[in-house]
């Protein structure tokens, strides 16, 4: 068997629930306003799942778009990886429900939980499966219903999050123009308490979130900047080799600071959070999809993906799309 040197990402697709909650809508719920939210986060609106709409529903709808874009059958999928922090049930995995809904009878399926870094973690796992020959087509999905674990009475966190899903196929690279070049992952459990969704319920949400806002802000900039520098250095690349940086879409000010620290032009960062807020592990595929649809990201562009999430977990990937 020939050794597979690279995998590739294709069929990027997203799904957003129909319900939209604007900043003005939020101002009717908590003591806030549109100007305050936009100035501090860049977020203008977020999509909210219905009460009977769950993470596996969003994941499946995104996955169906990916399969259609790639013109492949669910039976051609060998593995399904779902990154989520907000499953409907603690057990079994969201991925096996997606497998059932898709009819992907030949796949094995499992979840990973790396919070907002989940899509980058999932890409690294999928890349390894392809290179080792354990799978030919991996369906990678980041999906979240953050609204179901958000305390809508807490104005410090409720303005930040939304629901959505993003997906892609990871398969063997067929040429040198479309490939996953590298991934690099990190974690630091000593900062476990910076972002936590506790099991206890509060104000009718399924989890009680606590977040050290200023610490998370500083950690996000530092961790992502360091991982970007590390992965570029290890692959004998510089920031000039990158066409677009695709950061986790948590806060516009974080993205701006990240670009400044890495001497990367701010207009070369894909920013989509104004439309969907922080959807945790779904933000990176959503941002890529937004960049493609807007005409910014073109075939063969070099993308630098980077994210940080609770754990703390973080990581980066270099992808020639």
248 has catalytic annotation: yes
CA–chain centroid gap for 176, Å, is: 25
Exactly one of 23, 137, 251, 278 is catalytic; which is it? Answer: 278
Q: Are strands 179-187 and 302-309 parallel, antiparallel or unpaired?
A: unpaired
Exactly one of 23, 248, 276, 290 is catalytic; which is it? Answer: 248
Exactly one of 116, 158, 223, 259 is catalytic; which is it? Answer: 116
What's the per-residue H, E or C state across the chain? CCCCCCEEEEEEEEECCCEEEEHHHHCCCCCCCHHHHHHHHCCCEEEECCCCCCHHHHHHHHHHHHHHHHCCCHHHCCEEEEECCCCCCCCCCHHHHHHHHHCCCCCEEEEECCHHHHHHHHHHHHHHHHHHCCCCEEEEEEEEEHHHHCCCCCHHHHCCECEEEEEEEEEECCCCCCEEEEEEEEECHHHHHHEEEECCCECCECCEEEECHHHHHHHHHHHHHHHHHHHHHHCCCCHHHCCEEEECCCCHHHHHHHHHHCCCCHHHECCCHHHHCECHHHHHHHHHHHHHHCCCCCCCCEEEEEEEECCCEEEEEEEEC
Phi, psi of 267 (to 5 degrees): -80, 0
Residues 94 and 99: their CA atoms lie apart, in Å, by: 9
Provide the Cα torsion 289, 293, 296, 297; round to 10°: 50
Q: In terms of residues, how long is the chain? A: 321
278 has catalytic annotation: yes
Beta bridge partners of 185: 315
6 has catalytic annotation: no
Phi, psi of 278 (to 5 degrees): -85, 110
Name the one residue in this structure whose structure tokens are 């695709």. 246
Q: State the catalytic residues.
A: 116, 248, 278
């Amino acid at each position: 068997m020939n050794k597979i040197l690279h995998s590739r990402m294709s069929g990027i697709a997203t799904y957003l629930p129909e319900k939209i909650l604007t900043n003005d809508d939020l101002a009717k719920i908590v003591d806030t306003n549109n100007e305050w939210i936009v100035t501090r986060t860049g977020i203008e609106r977020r999509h909210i799942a219905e009460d009977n709409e769950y993470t596996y529903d969003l994941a499946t709808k995104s996955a169906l778009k990916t399969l259609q874009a790639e013109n492949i059958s669910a039976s051609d999928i060998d593995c399904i990886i779902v990154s989520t922090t907000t499953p409907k049930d603690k057990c079994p995995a969201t991925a096996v429900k997606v497998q059932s809904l898709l009819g992907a009878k030949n796949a094995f399926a499992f979840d990973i939980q790396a919070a907002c870094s989940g899509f980058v973690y999932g890409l690294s796992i999928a890349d390894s499966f392809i290179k080792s020959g354990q799978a030919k087509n991996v369906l990678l999905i980041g999906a979240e219903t953050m609204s179901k674990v958000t305390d809508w009475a807490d104005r410090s966190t409720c303005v930040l999050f939304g629901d959505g899903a993003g997906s892609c196929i990871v398969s063997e690279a067929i040429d040198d123009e479309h490939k996953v070049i590298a991934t690099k992952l990190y974690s630091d459990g000593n900062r476990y308490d910076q972002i936590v969704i506790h099991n206890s319920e509060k104000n009718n949400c399924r989890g009680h979130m606590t977040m050290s806002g200023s610490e998370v802000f500083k950690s996000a900039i530092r961790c992502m900047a360091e991982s970007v520098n590390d992965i570029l250095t290890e692959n004998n690349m510089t920031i000039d080799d990158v066409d677009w940086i695709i950061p986790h879409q948590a806060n516009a000010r974080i993205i701006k600071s990240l670009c400044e620290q890495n001497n990367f032009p701010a207009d070369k960062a894909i920013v989509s959070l104004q439309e969907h807020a922080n959807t945790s592990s779904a933000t990176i595929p959503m941002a890529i999809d937004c960049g493609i649809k807007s005409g910014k990201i073109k075939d063969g562009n070099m993308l630098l993906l980077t994210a940080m999430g609770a754990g703390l977990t973080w990581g980066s990937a270099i992808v020639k799309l």
